[in-house]
Amino acid sequence: MEKKNIDWGNIGFGYMEADYRYVSYYKDGKWDDGALVTDPNITLNECACVFQYAQTVFEGLKAYTTQDGHIVCFRPDLNASRMIDSAERLVMPPFPEDRFLDAVKQVVKANAAWVPPFGSGASLYIRPYLMGINSVIGVKPADEYMFRILVTPVGPYFKGGAKPITIKVSDYDRAAPHGTGDIKAGLNYAMSLRPIVKAHEEGFAENMYLDAATRTKVEETGGANFIFITKDGTLVTPKSNSILPSITRRSIMVVAEKYLGMKVEHREVYFDELADFAECGLCGTAAVISPVGKINDHGKEICFPAGMEEMGPYTKKLYDTLTGIQMGTIEAPEGWIYTIE
Ligand code: PLP
Ligand code: COI
């Protein structure tokens, strides 16, 4: 498969129109067979539930080229099951897990020319999404749905690659008024648009959201979970039922314990504790593991001494092991790697 003529090492996190996308429709209580199509545009009725009441959920995962030339995905079964949970919360029909995996395989295979080569630092971002498409004007769920997957090659989520970023404590709560952050739904992200614009205007890369009830506990950022490293090398990561259950974070917990022999704590993390941590990072499909050097709390700075100039030593070990597993240079735990071709 001849690759597209792209400067893979220098692409950012943006949308490029690949050749194929996957589409399946739900009507009269069942999903159709689904198909690959070439048209990137969607035409819908003006009163479609997705437009009026934001009835839409999505997922994010990546495909990688391994050192020995295969194309693989990382734990797509967990994206399939999380999407089912998100869909249930917005009263949408689940797209079955086996169909999800097959659709990912079809669309990545068809777009193999867009999968960045091994060692380029880029990967193919895969965005499954599901929306209510028939017209509704009273507040109720749709009866008809569209499931789609688009793919686009991406580079690092944060500008500057592996250089530590500075984030701010958000002035906003991330959760949508009637929802929580634990579903990957369009409305949650719409509610984070104003905070992210504000953060960027002020020169920060992301927002740290605190729990909405007390604003004393660390939740997550707009697009990633947090990891912290204590001075004695323990991985601490916030536990909350109002943050997205990050697949990357769940994987890092296993990597830390089983591959690196680190102690792992998954617990409530109080904002007041932050000054005691040695390293801080953001983790997610897009963020991978991005080091945080500084957190700005309304003018007061919290600095992580081990990670101000470059990734701290524990964060680096976690990053190298995780990406090694994803790209096939380190043996993965059973079932983590889904081979596309
Ligand atoms: N939290 C939020 C709000 C996200 O958007 C993401 C990205 O998907 C994550 C966390 C990380 O989740 P994952 O590791 O499953 O990509
Ligand atoms: C992902 O990591 O897949 C996300 O959805 C994060 C998003 C901010 C791009």
Residues 185, 130, single domain; the answer is no
Out of 105, 168, 184, 316, which one is annotated catalytic? 184
Per-residue pLDDT of 307-316, as tens digits, reads: 778 899 999 9
CATH number at residue 250: 3.20.10.10
Q: Whose CA is nearest to atom 5 of ligand 1?
A: 223
> Is residue 147 located within the same domain as residue 215?
no
Residue 254 lies inside a defined structural domain of this protein:
yes
pLDDT score, position 163: 87
Nearest CA to ligand 1 atom 2: 223
- 138 and 55 in one domain? yes
State yes or no: pLDDT of 179 exceeds 80.
no
State pLDDT tens for residues 187-235.
Answer: 899 999 999 999 999 999 999 999 988 999 999 999 999 999 999 999 9
The reply to whether 130 falls in a domain is: yes
Grouping H, G, I as helix, E, B as strand and the rest as coil, residue 26 is strand
pLDDT of residue 176: 60
Q: What is the pLDDT of residues 263-272, one digit of tens each?
A: 999 999 999 9
pLDDT digits (tens, 9 = 90+) for 137-155: 999 999 999 999 999 999 9
> Considering the domain boundaries, does residue 1 fall inside one?
no
Interval between CA 27 and ligand 2 midpoint (Å) = 29
Tell whether 202 and 250 lie within a shared domain.
yes
With a 6 A CB cut-off, is 182 part of the ligand 1 pocket? no
Same structural domain, 192 and 295: yes
User: Is 296 part of a structural domain of the chain?
Assistant: yes
Per-residue pLDDT, averaged over 250-279, amounts to 98
- pLDDT at site 1: 73
Predicted pLDDT of residue 308: 77
pLDDT at 178: 55
Could you give the number of structural domains in the chain?
Answer: 2
* Ligand 1 atom nearest 250 alpha carbon: 14
Same-domain check for residues 316 and 169: yes
Are 95 and 180 within one domain? no
Contact (CB, 8 A) for 256 and 127: no
In whole numbers, what is the pLDDT of the chain averaged over residues? 95
Residue 3 within a domain: no
User: Does residue 160 have a pLDDT over 80?
Assistant: no
Q: Are residues 94 and 194 in the same domain?
A: no
For 106-132, what is the mean pLDDT? 97
Active-site residue flag, 168:
no
Ligand 2 atom 8, closest CA: 223
| Res. 162 pLDDT band, cuts 50 70 90 | confident
User: 244 pLDDT exceeds 60?
Assistant: yes
Does the C-beta of 186 come closer than 6 Å to ligand 2? no
Q: How much is the pLDDT for 177? A: 56
Which atom of ligand 1 lies nearest, measured to the CA of 188? Answer: 3
> Is residue 56 over pLDDT 90?
yes
Query: Quick one: which ligand is closest to 284's CA?
Result: 1
Cα 223 to averaged position of ligand 1 atoms, centre (Å): 5
pLDDT of residue 96 exceeding 80, the answer is: yes
247 lines ligand 1 (CB under 6 A): yes
Above 80 in pLDDT, residue 134? yes
Q: What is the pLDDT of residues 36-53, one digit of tens each?
A: 999 999 999 999 999 999
CB 284 less than 6 A from any atom of ligand 2:
yes
Point out the ligand nearest to the CA of residue 58.
2
**338 assigned to some structural domain:** no
- pLDDT over threshold 90, residue 180: no
With a 6 Å cutoff on the Cβ, whether 132 touches ligand 2 is: no
Whether residue 92 is found in the same domain as residue 184: no
Domain of 46, in residue numbers: 8-154
- Say if 339 falls within a structural domain: no
